[in-house]
């Protein structure tokens, strides 16, 4: 766990669809019309009204995000972020992934959310290297928090222990060392 100002950042091994936070982030695709992985799990748990709202949104560009209600989910909102497909690292993948985290926090702030949970966007079907993605996720959230003052709790929801350990290690690395006594 890491505390930055008023905000607590933590990693958890958890199914993101079970979290009663203000917003969960979905790792969506540009159609916003559902898919496999975490996207499929979110649509199944939210019910078909989520798909109906997504159908009105006109899709979403890679690196951007759009927000809907949470319907049958315990979360109030779903922020649908579209991560990049990994293509070797020379196609702007890192910047596009960072943009997903920035845009998600901006939308959460616009809705006055205080808690948000992210999956490891692009780390499944889209094959982004996990360690690099985790550095981008944690780094971008920390950089963006000053512009997202409503947020006081960020959860990195991990589907397995290996991903959890990467987040734990990244959060520990970013913890400022305790100041030495004078
Ligand atoms: N809770 C938390 N994390 C999960 C869950 C869950 N319920 N389910 C999977 N993960 P992926 P992507 C993890 O493939 O790579 C979809 O078809 C998973 O272990 O869901 O961004 C979309 O429609 C992995 O670490 O998303 C797109 O077409 C992470 O979530 C495409 O996949 C992301 O894996 C997006 O691919």
**166 has a pLDDT exceeding 70:** yes
Ligand 1 proximity of 123 Cβ (cutoff 6 Å):
yes
Q: Is the dihedral of CA 108, 109, 112, 113 positive or negative?
A: positive
d(Cα 173, Cα 2) in Å, to the nearest integer?
Answer: 10
d(Cα 43, Cα 78) in Å, to the nearest integer?
Answer: 10
Looking at domain 16-173, does it have CATH number 3.40.50.1100? no
- Write down the pLDDT at residue 180: 74
- Write down the pLDDT at residue 26: 98
Q: Name the pTM for this structure.
A: 0.97
User: Among the atoms of ligand 1, which is closest to the Cα of residue 83?
Assistant: 21
Ligand 1 proximity of 22 Cβ (cutoff 6 Å):
no
Coil vs helix vs strand at 110: helix
DSSP assigned state of 14: -
d(Cα 102, Cα 98) in Å, to the nearest integer?
Answer: 6
Ligand 1 proximity of 129 Cβ (cutoff 6 Å):
no
Coil vs helix vs strand at 82: strand
With the CA atoms of 80, 86, 87 and 92 taken in that order, what torsion angle do they form, in degrees rounded to the nearest 10? 60
- Write down the pLDDT at residue 176: 72
132: tokens are 């690099």
Coil vs helix vs strand at 105: helix
User: Among the atoms of ligand 1, which is closest to the Cα of residue 163?
Assistant: 25
**179 has a pLDDT exceeding 80:** no
Residue 39 among the catalytic residues: yes
- So where are the chain's domains? 16-173
pLDDT digits (tens, 9 = 90+) for 59-117: 999 999 999 999 999 999 999 999 999 999 999 999 999 999 999 999 999 999 999 99
pLDDT digits (tens, 9 = 90+) for 9-49: 999 999 999 999 999 999 999 999 999 999 999 999 999 99
**182 has a pLDDT exceeding 70:** no
């Amino acid at each position: 766990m890491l505390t930055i100002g008023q905000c607590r950042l933590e990693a958890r091994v958890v199914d993101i669809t079970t979290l009663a936070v203000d917003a969960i982030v979905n790792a969506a695709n540009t159609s916003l019309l559902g898919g496999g992985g975490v996207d499929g799990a979110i649509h199944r748990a939210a019910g078909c009204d989520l798909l109906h709202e997504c159908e009105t949104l006109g899709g979403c560009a890679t690196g951007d995000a759009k927000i809907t209600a949470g319907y049958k989910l315990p979360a109030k909102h779903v922020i649908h972020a579209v991560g990049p497909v990994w293509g070797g690292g020379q196609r702007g993948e890192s910047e596009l992934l960072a943009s997903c985290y920035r845009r998600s926090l901006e939308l959460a702030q616009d809705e006055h959310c205080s808690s948000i949970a992210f999956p490891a966007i692009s780390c499944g079907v889209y094959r982004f290297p996990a360690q690099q993605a985790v550095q981008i996720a944690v780094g971008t959230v920390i950089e963006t928090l000053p512009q997202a003052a409503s947020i006081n709790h960020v959860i990195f929801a991990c589907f397995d222990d290996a991903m959890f350990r990467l987040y734990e290690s990244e959060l520990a690395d970013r913890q400022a060392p305790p100041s030495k006594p004078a």
